[in-house]
Amino acid sequence: MNDNFMGEDYIIIKALENGVNIIGLTRGKDTKFHHTEKLDKGEVMVLQFTEHTSAIKIRGHAEIIHRYGSVTSENSSGSRNT
């Protein structure tokens, strides 16, 4: 954990297969999709939680790196194709 953290949270997503979908969800009374991206294998995206973004959904096989550590998501079919 980063005790010196100041500001908003960032995460890094690295696609481990083609077609990884990233979906940003809004804050507020009603949760809505506000942004989508599609990454191909090897592409990396840096994302930020803000006053407007309360959640990020990742669909596909990807490595997710954040201030608490990292995690690898499975691909859509639940099997690994790397």
Per-residue DSSP letter, 67: T
Sorted by sequence, the CB contacts under 8 Å of residue 42 that are 6+ apart come out as 14, 15
Q: What is the pLDDT of residue 21?
A: 95
Question: For the chain, which domains are there?
Answer: 16-72 (2.60.40.50)
The model's pTM is 0.75
- pLDDT, one tens digit per residue, over 38-55 is 999 999 999 888 777 788
Enumerate residue ranges in the chain where pLDDT < 70.
1-8, 76-82
User: Up-side HSE of residue 38: CA atoms within 13 Å toward CB?
Assistant: 2
Q: What is the pLDDT of residue 69?
A: 94
Q: What is the pLDDT of residue 41?
A: 97
